[in-house]
Structure 1
Amino acid sequence: MCGIWATFGVTGGLTPTCVKCFSNIRHRGPDAWRIEQDAREPLAILGFQRLAIVDGLHGMQPMRLHCYPRTTLICNGEIYNCKRLQKQHEFQYETNCDVEAIIHLYQRFGIEEAVTNLDGVFSFCLVDGEKKKVYIARDPYGVRPLFSFHDPENDVLAICSEAKGLLGLKQNGSPNSTLGQFSPGNLQVWSILESGKVKLDYTHQYFTPGKAPKFEPYVPENKLIDMNVNEKIAYLLEAACRKRLMSDRRIGCLLSGGLDSSLITAIVVKLAKEYKLPYKIQTFAIGMGDSPDLAAARTVADYLGTEHHEVQFDENDIRKELDNVIYHLESYDITTIRASLPMYLLSKYIKEKTDTTVVFSGEGADELAQGYIYFRDAPSEKDAHKESVRLLSDIYLYDGLRADRTTSAFSLELRVPFLDIQFTHHYLSIPPKLRQPQNGVEKHLLRSSFAKSGLLPDCVLWRHKEAFSDGVSSVKKSLFSVIKEITTERLQEDDIQYPGLQPKTNESKYYRYVFEKSFPGQHNFTPYYWMPKWVQVSDPSARFIKHYAAK
């Protein structure tokens, strides 16, 4: 997890506005920073905020190689097949940094071939000074964030890991300028004009959920031939965790005690022993009072023998951090903000109280494996499959965004194995009927794939589904009830008319009010409120769905 920032065509070069914008993403890379302006391209400025995870000596960016001195790269990401690419194509690496593979692939095969051969998570900007081209790309599910700003009247382009690093440019831009998320699975090609300004050549969507990856898979197909459906799922999920262990910093796991985080934690603990990591895996759980998540996470931690940390939070913590959470999220979605509060507080604890920097998490399982309770009401298996693909396509706007922003706010690097490209492709290729809830149990196929593994006790493996923002709540009083009381108390004006989505409750009105203070006019950041499908509810909490089983 790092922060990337670049501008092209801004008159005056590195203006005070640019410097302020660049400093707004300092939290993403506290270890070092660099900002460069190429004398040969005076209107091109590239900046990098670094969180050192791999190759502390040579991993600084913007990156240039001796063999390609006119090609410059800034990238926030991890390329898991960097060594396989090196061996396959006999690349001569100059660093131990995984993102170097992007430059070699581009020089050997061109940008479109390069981006489709990356097995990893990434947002990058590559500048070819010889060809006068700028290439921008984002990983298939948008695990690594990226925003873009375009002012067509002034031929200006800028990109940044977070919108807060571009707002100043937007405010000084023309009325037709736009600022928004760069779509996952997309590549853009821009030309640098003689004036130093830029012009868009084309946009290419190189990936959609379920599409087979073009790169050589981490697990060869012939290794899966003799396995049954459950064995393949278990093997590929372990492989997804295995490739994500690359780190020179300490690794830990976010552990709610639910299926997703518990599975990932169990696999990481198993692999840590196999690789003889010189430390125990730390696990982190958070909850209010008698939260069911705290109790379940404690059961998992005891079973796995982790160095476990429990964090208790209360109403005072919510009051203190609610506005900060909205600022870091850059969203006013109700579900996202609710779920982000405990994750934000937990990340703060990890940063301040431990030496863990890389954290594994279970994001993506509900979208991929039909884990949301409302999937029981899907009209057909085909509809359920379509909804799963839709959720994966939009995860960067909701749960993916939450996971990145709450951890990056405290300079932590997030790893999400469930969104591994080979794993998601395989899972989505399984007959839809098998992926649906069975006998009232969500993610039945995923659970049954680990039923005989011994990785988790049955009480955890088959624990009922509970949304994170509900599971961390006290049994006596839900988190969203506390939040509703606070937001109603704070709301001063409730008749403001906003463009885009209209907030209807006091809670949503307060979220929008706080959002507009930092991101005025940027309602496009949240295209719709996350809500369950196929059920009639007025609140997104799982507690209002008839199938809800939590006590």
Structure 2
Amino acid sequence: MGGIAHIYTLKPSKGPKGPNELSGFSGPKRQLNRSLSGVSRRHGKQRNRDLSRMIENIRHRRPTKPISNENGSLQILFTGWIHDAPKIRKMLRRKHRFSSNQDGEVVLHLFEELGEECVHKLEGAYAFAVYSTNHEIGRESNLGEPGEDAGLSVNSEEKGEIFIARDPLGVKPLYISENEEIVCIASEFKALSDITPDFMEFPIGSYYYASKRADRGEKFVRYHSFSEPVNPAENEEPDKLLVNVETIEDLKEAKSGLQELLEDAVNKRIERGHPLGVYLSGGLDSSIIAALTAQEWDGVDSFAVGMEGSEDLLHARMCAKYLGTKHHEYVYTLEEMLEVLPTVIYHLESYDVALVRSSIPNYFLARMASEPGKVVLSGEGADELFCGYPYMKNLSEEERESEAYYLLETLHSTGLQRGDRMAAAFGMEARVPFLDLNLVDFALRIPDSMKYGPSGQEKWILRKAFSHLLPREIVSRKKKKFSIGAGSFDLMAQVAEEKISDEEFEKNRVTEAGHKLRSKEEFLYYKIFHEFFPQRAAEEAVEFSRSL
């Protein structure tokens, strides 16, 4: 759980530099080079003040504290969870002394043993940075409790080396700004926007390794990809993780495999000793997760929201009664939607219409479920894996396969961003069993014929695999967008039409970053977004969904 914010010096600045003297690098989206020159010239108390502001901007995420290795030569800032942490810890105890039970300390010692290859041993959702400190290697230090310096992680000595990684699907958010002298990272870009005008989203399934030592080549390395399957015989990089290309043709194998893998995925994400809840819209995906959770956690709390008379409230109530969950629901109004809209956009860090629309009910959902440290499980990811979006039915089989990989690669900036940001706004962590990597690999091997079935019904194989756990009405319920099911789909569009004149819209239709706004509703959201985040980099960090 928690978030991270960090300012790290690779080498000390020798004073102001000209515009061409900061080399930077060509990252995945654009070059980051001059933006941190002011930060790199600030030292001591001023840099600590910068970091304090960064941390304050993500205080709602309950920022984590640095953890040191035994001699203090390395520290880690870690957010997330690692499934096999107890097993890895047991293996590492032969060589390392642990001072906490935190997953981050496991990752730190694993990095000491394996270097950048440690990412191939990790299963879970995570973002972390391991960095050298001003302690000399081998020197013993008197360490207190892990993270006793309250998350203020700034080094200013010459020894500079930092390794940063993000999980394969980008379940945990991360942003970065860097040049040859300094690296800044944060779980949300609002933490960076106060100190630098230039930043970008850290690429998913990638790591970054920077040092003041000899050049290591490209700093960003993609270690896990959901690109379309490669035949092992044609693979030129046999050590790289590949998607299994063997298609599952047997219906019984597909059903039993999904049952086993999803049950396991839910169990991995239940953390005993922490409060637990499930989001329950009454749709197929969230109902399956609720059913599997209820088998493991008697009387688990379930949460549903919607406007008066909405379909989601009705179906969620029915499902909760059937499963025996302790059900909670909240009915919201248009006035409440307008009241929370600026707060939603601030936390969401986006003005994408579909994302904002669905985040408003998600905000009410998280607020109702809120309890610091709580884990909430959701059905996110099933539509991407099992052709749940209506438009996919109009694609060819080959196009659908490509679309599935595209949706997985961009989920971090759509559904996952919505779920993470709204939960984090209330100090909670959203976990997504459908996006367990073992399940993802298995689902990608299931053919179209099983995902649509004989009658062309979307997510047919999911319905068949879990029909024994759910009411018939839930099993047969068609896919509805979250905002439609909650009853608030087009209300904001009507508000925007009333508030914004044609003249104002046409005059301001092109944003400062050159994006042409597609509707008055998008303009309404953009105006609020721009007030919070006027930086061009903030706008360029926004991606647009085509599925939500």
TM bin (shorter chain) = 0.7 to 0.9
Counterpart of 2:492 (choices 483, 486, 507) is 483
1:229-272, Cα deviation, whole Å (9 max, x unpaired)? 21011100000011111242210101000011100011011012
User: Helix, strand or coil for the counterpart of 1:347?
Assistant: helix
What is the deviation of 1:420?
0.6
Structure 2, unmatched stretches of 5+, are 10-39, 138-158, 231-237, 242-249
Residues 498-509 of structure 1 correspond to what in structure 2 (within 5 A)?
498=511, 499-509=513-523
* CA displacement 1:35-67 (0-9 Å, x = unmatched): xxxxxxxxxxxxxx14xxxxxxxxxx201132x
Rounded to whole Å, the distance in 2 between the matches of 1:246 and 1:215 is: 31
Give yes or no for contact 1:209–1:425 (8 Å, CA) kept in 2: no
Quote the Cα distance in structure 1 between the aligned partners of 2:372 and 2:4.
Answer: 24
Q: 1:187 is paired with a residue of what secondary structure?
A: strand
Deviation of 1:401 after TM superposition, in Å, equals: 0.4
1:202 matched to 2:213 = no
Give the secondary structure class of the aligned counterpart of 1:74.
Answer: strand
- Structure 1 counterpart of 2:410: 394
Residue identity in the other structure for 1:168: D
Q: Is 1:145 paired with 2:145?
A: no
Aligned to 1:38: none
Structure 2 residue 533 is the aligned partner of structure 1 residue 513: no
Q: Please list the CA deviations of residues 101-158 of structure 1 after superposition, one character each: whole Å capped at 9, or x if unmatched.
A: 21122112222x2011100000001113457420011001100010111246xx3220
Report if aligned partners of 1:286, 1:294 keep a CA contact under 8 Å in 2: yes
Q: What are the equivalent positions in structure 2 for 1:136-535 lying under 5 Å apart?
A: 136-151=164-179, 155-171=181-197, 178-192=198-212, 202-209=219-226, 228-273=253-298, 280-351=299-370, 357-379=374-396, 381-436=397-452, 438-451=454-467, 454-473=468-487, 479-491=488-500, 493-494=504-505, 495-496=507-508, 497-498=510-511, 499-520=513-534, 521=536, 522-527=538-543, 529-532=544-547
Paired residues, what number?
A: 467
TM-fit CA distance, 1:450: 1.6
% identical aligned pairs? 32
Distance 2:177 2:8 in 1: 10
Q: Structure 1 residue 160: deviation in Å? A: 0.1
Maintained 8 Å contact 1:8/1:157: yes
| Alpha-carbon distance in structure 2 between the residues aligned to 1:510 and 1:147 | 26
1:88, distance to aligned residue in structure 2 (A): 5.0
Task: Please give the secondary structure, in 1, of the residue aligned with 2:163.
Answer: strand
Q: 1:200 to 1:411 in 2, by over 3 A?
A: farther
Contact 1:500 1:524 in 2 (8 A): no
Q: Which residue of 2 aligns with 1:276?
A: none
Alignment partners' CA distance in 2, 1:226 and 1:509? 47
- CA 1:507–1:450 in structure 2 vs 1: closer, same or farther (change >3 Å)? same
The 8 Å contact of residues 277 and 369 in structure 2, kept in 1 or not, is answered as no
- Counterparts of 1:488 and 1:226, CA distance in 2: 49
Q: Which residue pairs with 1:117 in the alignment?
A: 121
Q: What's the CA shift string for 1:360-414, capped at 9, x where partnerless?
A: 11111111111111121112x2211110110010001111100000110111111
Determine the structure 1 residue equivalent to 2:106: 101
Tell me the secondary structure at the aligned position of residue 359 of structure 1. strand
Structure 1 282/356 Cα, relative in aligned 2: closer, same or farther at 3 Å?
farther
Quick one: which of 79, 86, 90 aligns to 1:83?
A: 86
Note if 1:127 corresponds to 2:131.
Answer: yes
- Per the alignment, residue 24 of structure 2 pairs with none
Q: Would the aligned equivalents of 1:8 and 1:156 in 2 still touch at CA under 8 Å?
A: yes
Cα 1:328–1:340 shift into 2, 3 Å: same
Q: CA deviation at 1:193?
A: 6.6
Check conservation: 1:190, 1:200, Cα contact below 8 A: no
CA contact (8 A) 2:312 2:486 kept: yes
The Cα shift of 1:13 comes to 3.7
Q: Which amino acid aligns with 2:394?
A: D
For the residues of structure 1 that align with 2:188 and 2:372, how far apart are their CA atoms?
25
Distance 1:501 1:258 in 2: 34
Amino acid at match of 1:21: M
- Structure 1 position 516, deviation (Å): 1.2
**Superposed CA offset, 1:457-508 (max 9, x none):** 12112211111010000xxxxx233211222344473222312421121101
Name the SS for the 1:188 alignment partner: strand
Measured in 2, the distance between the counterparts of 1:295 and 1:115 equals 44
Per the TM alignment, residue 227 of structure 1 is displaced from its structure 2 partner at its CA by 6.9
Moved more, 299-308 or 442-451: 442-451
Once the two structures are TM-superposed, the CA of residue 438 in structure 1 deviates from its matched residue by 4.7
What is the DSSP-based 3-state SS (H/G/I as helix, E as strand, rest coil) of the residue aligned with 2:490? helix
SS in 1 for 2:112: helix
Q: CA deviation at 1:436?
A: 4.2
- Aligned letter for 1:417? P
Cα RMSD, aligned residues only: 2.7
Q: CA deviation at 1:437?
A: 5.7
Alpha-carbon distance change, 440 to 70 in structure 1, aligned in 2, over 3 angstroms: same
Cα deviation for residue 356 of structure 1 reads 7.8
Give 5+ residue unaligned stretches, structure 1: 30-48, 51-60, 172-177, 217-224, 274-279, 474-478, 533-539, 541-551
- Confirm or deny: 8 A CA contact 2:303 2:368 kept in the other structure: no
Distance 1:5 1:356 in 2: 19
Distance 1:518 1:355, change over 3 A: closer
Q: Does the CA-based 8 Å contact 2:372-2:427 persist in structure 1?
A: no
Task: Give the match's secondary structure for 1:424.
Answer: helix
Residue number in structure 1 paired with 2:244: none
Aligned to 2:73: 70
Show CA shifts across 1:81-103 (max 9, x none). Answer: 11222345555543222232211
Helix, strand or coil at the partner of 2:79: strand
Deviation of residue 434 (structure 1)?
2.9
Q: Distance in 2 between matches of 1:208 and 1:133?
A: 26
2:28 counterpart of 1:12: no
The residue type paired with residue 458 of structure 2 is E
CA contact (8 A) 2:372 2:426 kept: no
Could you tell me how far 1:442 is from its partner in structure 2? 0.8
The Cα shift of 1:513 comes to 1.3
- Work out the CA distance in 2 between the residues paired with 1:437 and 1:226: 11
Contact 2:345 2:356 survives alignment (8 Å):
yes
Gap change, CA 1:214 and 1:407, over 3 Å in 2 = farther
